[in-house]
Amino acid sequence: MNILVIRMHRFGDILQLTPMLQGLKKKYSDCNITFFTSSEMYDLLADNPDVDEVISIPEKKYRYYLKNKPEYYARIYNEMYDLVSDLKGRRFQMIINRHYEFGGILAHLTGAEQILGQSFSPERCTFLNDPISAQLYDTILKTRKTNRRNLVDWACQIAGLSPGSGKMHFSVPEIDLFMAERLLSEHGANNEPLIAVQMGAAKSFRQWGADNYIHIIKWLIKSKGKKVVLLGTEDEKGEADNIRLRLGKSNKYMIDLIGKTDFKTLGGILKKCRKLITGDTGTMHMSASVGTPVIALFYGTAFPWETGPYGTGHLVLYADEKCAPCFYPEDCISGHSCRNSITPEHVSKAFNISEALTRAKITDVDFFSEKVKLYLTYARPGSDQTMIPVNEISNIQGIPNFPDHPERGDFKGAGISGSTDYIYRKGNHLLQKLHRGDSEGFMDLFPEYIGQWIKIISYIKEKYTDENISEALVQCLTPAINEATRAMQARDYTTLSDLIQYDFKHAIDILTGASSHTAYECERRILQ
Amino acid sequence: MHDILKRNLLYLEGRAQNLADRLRKIDPDPSLELITADSGDWTARKYSWDGSYQFFHSRINPWRESRMWADSQGAIMPCLVIVGVGFAYHVFELLEKRGYIEDAYLIEADERVFQMAMMVNDLSSLIQNPAVHFLVGYPLSVIETILSKSLIQPFSVHIFSPIVSLYPDIYNPVRQSLENHLCALRMSEGDGVENLLKQMSAA
């Protein structure tokens, strides 16, 4: 079975498809899964064991160029034409499109025995090609409030699987865990328990507000003795500065990592934290994917039955207003008052309950609020995920497997092999771009590749116990990185390609034990 | 080296007398330096005014590099264009991979680079192949005229980035022109890809 899955952007939405991918691999043991996405999302899936190949395009750049630089139309047209020809040639039996119109047209052009999700035909334009997708569309449009199925389970059903066919997954290789720990240490973390807080959400009506976050951060620091790790994108930097100022002396207990994390580091940081407090964000799904419990705040347009954190043991605070879930936030006449229904006190109470749950001290839980509900997520294989009101937890027997809670310094990543596989694939991906004439795309990504090697050197220096290998690698990699820097400045693609194919490949061989090349041999090649 | 050049020029005279004459007359470019790769094959580097340099082909193994390049190409059509010839390792590899060709247009911006290629590699099989056309040192307008007349059915374009990046001011307009021409030919087939682009521009 040859399967193509299409989802272009929104990293939370892509992570929500990972249980479906796992389910497909279980159902069709010899299947080959190709995931088509945008370049920015490549790292989310590059080392997912259920994905055989990731194909990506710089979709954002294409869209920008198509609107603003008409001279690029022909190039983009030809690249998309070649892409469609390539996909056609792969003869997919099944295409699962989770990207609506764009994905529908691409699925139609590619062709497959079965197209699930949105499809396209010149006569009908876009249409839903399978009954489950049509049912999902109807549900969201007409009976959203009564929907009790998470989008993760909907995706499984669309793919012909039973709900609960897999778990959320995001690989954090050992080196990224190490880098996450180093980043935390550089910002003052020692061995104290860390709680992550993600303030922002993409839309302003989905943001809980700085005042509320300050309140809860102060409480975590002063009453619970925790250090708080602030997460978010560059856009939220102003908000973070505001919080730091208002925390006064306590701000030394806050670690501001806003704008400082890529996907891998974010995964590593979350893995190192005991909990995450967040709204309905991509970071929430990332946390669920790496096994860190979430306390999620849902209000406004966010509906927890639909997009709540997937997996057992997360807590969801839901502002269950009459008008919720909101469909037209721009027309709200109450000024988004639902955001204020959830108070910092609700969150602190939820936090205490979450702590009790993770210590397996589930006794009677008392949480009462007229407007706000507190739910515990409960996922079982073969069933839809459900959410149990916390007051009823004591009635439920045998809720197993709360997400684990990694302690700092406890390295249980995929080992060095996770990182070497990743960087090997990344090198091939770069060469492919260069060979296809996309030197611009190659240059955009090459610094990331070098960045990954710099991470590996830091890791080797601190963590490798075998001094011979460590020395050989450092002596091999240091001149290679220097030469790469020169070649990048000179746009010397040949040297960059040689470095990927030979010098960095040698380093990978040494790391994986496939080669016993000495430092001298590596160095000789570089200096020639 | 001079024997190879003589031999190549001899064959070239039979195909393109003007080009052969031009290559005979020009002096070698002092900014180009020939270098032996680890494999024993030739490569070269071109120096810029600021002392920085770019290599043409792999310093380790140009043939292996070219095989990988050829293997990475998408569809290779019977009618094809290679942008950036350099020492032509990749040209040989691509043509071998393709097998039968109707027409192959090889675009090299710099006559001196081509002169160097003629010195180091035996290009006689390419030169003698009537389906292979060398467009060496031509301005854009000439290339455009030749290709718009010759390329009347869909073709494939194969960019060799290391050479193209040596002369971006010359190669980029050539590439743009080829892309426009290919796009127009493909669109006339009504393949539906424009729906995809329409959606991308609208959203």
CA atoms of A105 and A410, how far apart (whole Å):
47
Cβ contacts (< 8 Å) between A492 and chain B: which residues?
Answer: 52-55, 162
Residue of A nearest to B44 (CA): A494
Q: Render pLDDT for A460-498 as a digit per residue (tens, 0 to 9).
A: 888 777 777 788 888 889 999 999 999 999 999 999 999
- Ranking A56-65, A224-233, A362-371 by mean pLDDT, the lowest is A362-371
| Predicted pLDDT of residue A413 | 40
- The mean per-residue pLDDT over the stretch A453-463 comes to 86
Which residues of chain B lie closer than 8 angstroms to A495, CB-CB? 54-55, 59
Q: Which of A62, A437, A489 sits opposite B161 (nearest CB)?
A: A437
pLDDT band for A409, please (50, 70, 90 cuts): very low
pLDDT for residue A240: 83
Mean pLDDT of A55-62: 94
Report the distance separating Cα A477 and Cα A474, nearest Å: 5
Distance from CA of A407 to the nearest CA of B (A): 45
Check residue A16 and give its pLDDT. Answer: 98
CB contact under 8 A, B55 and A494: yes
- A515: pLDDT strictly greater than 70: no
| Candidate from A131-140, A183-192, A301-310 with smallest mean pLDDT | A183-192
Specify the higher pLDDT residue, A122 or B147: B147
CA B131 to CA B121: how far, in whole Å?
A: 20
CB contact under 8 A, A494 and B162: yes
Q: Specify the pLDDT at position B51.
A: 95
Q: Would you call A356 an interface residue with chain B, using a CB distance cutoff of 8 Å?
A: no
Q: How far from the centroid of its chain's Cα atoms is residue B86's Cα?
A: 7
Q: Is A203 on the interface with B (CB under 8 A)?
A: no
Residue B14 burial by Cβ neighbours in a 10 Å radius (0-12, 13-18, 19+): exposed
List of chain A residues whose C-beta atoms are within 8 Å of the C-beta of residue B74: 82, 85-86, 436
Rounded Cα distance, B128 and B131, in Å? 9
Predicted confidence (pLDDT) at residue A512 exceeds the cutoff of 50: yes
Q: What is the pLDDT of residues A184-213, one digit of tens each?
A: 999 998 888 999 999 876 566 677 888 899
Q: How confident is the model at residue A293 (pLDDT cuts 50, 70, 90)?
A: very high
Nearest to B199 among A101, A439, A490 (CB): A101
The mean pLDDT of A389-407, rounded to a whole number, is: 61
pLDDT of residue A523: 44
Contact yes or no for A439 and B197 at CB 8 A: no
CB contact under 8 Å between A105 and B182, yes or no, is no
Average pLDDT over residues A275-298: 95
Percent of chain B with pLDDT over 90: 94
**Does B87 contact chain A (CB < 8 Å)?**
no
Position A210 scores a pLDDT of 85
Q: Which of A10, A106, A108, A435 is the best residue to mutate to test the B interface, defined by the most B CB atoms within 10 Å of its own CB?
A: A435
Model confidence pLDDT, tens digit, residues A420-448:
888 898 999 999 999 999 999 999 999 99
Proportion of chain A above pLDDT 90, given as a percent:
62
Contact (CB<8Å) B74/A80: no
pLDDT over threshold 60, residue A524: no
CA angle, B35 then B41 then B43, to 5°: 40
pLDDT confidence tier of residue A407, bands split at 50, 70 and 90: very low
Q: Tell me what pLDDT residue A463 has.
A: 79
Of these ranges, A243-252, A333-342, B105-114, the one predicted with the greatest mean pLDDT is: B105-114
Give the pLDDT confidence score for residue B72 in this predicted structure: 95
Query: Of A392-396, A403-407, A469-473, which has the strongest mean pLDDT?
Result: A469-473
Say if residue A344 is preceded by a cis peptide, omega within 30 of 0.
no
Amino acid A72: pLDDT: 94
| A435 touches B at CB < 8 Å | yes
Chain A interface mutation, best of B60, B87, B90, highest count of A Cβ atoms under 10 Å: B60
**pLDDT score, position A405:** 47
Residue A502 has pLDDT above 80, yes or no: yes
Instruction: Please give the model's pTM, rounded to 2 decimal places.
Output: 0.90
Which residues on chain A are in Cβ contact (under 8 Å) with B82?
A: none
State mean pLDDT over A229-251. 88
Which tens digits make up the pLDDT trace of A145-160?
Answer: 999 999 999 999 999 9
pLDDT of residue A384: 96
pLDDT of residue A398 exceeding 80, the answer is no
pLDDT at A339: 80
Given an 8 Å threshold on Cβ–Cβ distance, is B57 in contact with A85? Answer: no
Q: Which residues are CB-neighbours of A309 under 8 A, at least 6 positions away?
A: A284, A285, A287, A288, A294, A296, A316, A377
Instruction: Tell the burial category of A526 from Cβ atoms under 10 Å away from its Cβ (0-12, 13-18, 19+).
Output: buried
The mean pLDDT of A403-425, rounded to a whole number, is 58
Which pLDDT belongs to residue A235?
A: 84
Q: Does A526 touch chain B (CB under 8 A)?
A: no
Residue B29 makes CB contacts below 8 A (sequence gap 6+) with B46, B110, B112, B113, B116
Q: What is the mean pLDDT of chain A?
A: 88
Is A77 close to B186, i.e. CB distance below 8 A? yes
Q: Cβ–Cβ of B203/A102 closer than 8 Å?
A: yes
Which are the contacts of A405, defined by CB distance < 8 A and separation ≥ 6? Answer: A274, A292, A293, A358
What residue type is assigned to position A483 of the chain?
Answer: E
Higher pLDDT, A293 or A396: A293
Q: What is the pLDDT of residue A91?
A: 97
Answer whether B195 sits within 8 Å of A494, measured CB to CB.
Answer: no
Q: What is the pLDDT of residue A412?
A: 41
DSSP secondary structure letter of residue A80 = H
What is the per-residue pLDDT across A38-50, written as a single tens digit (0 to 9) for each? 999 999 998 899 9
- Which of B48, B73, B165 minimises the CB distance to A493? B165
Q: What ipTM was reported for this prediction?
A: 0.95
Q: Which residues fall within 8 angstroms of residue A256, CB to CB, at 6 or more apart? A: A187, A230, A240, A244
Does the beta-carbon distance from B201 to A67 stay under 8 Å?
Answer: yes
Of residues B69, B179, B184, nearest to A75 (C-beta): B179
Looking at residue A397, its pLDDT comes to 58
Output the pLDDT for position A399: 55
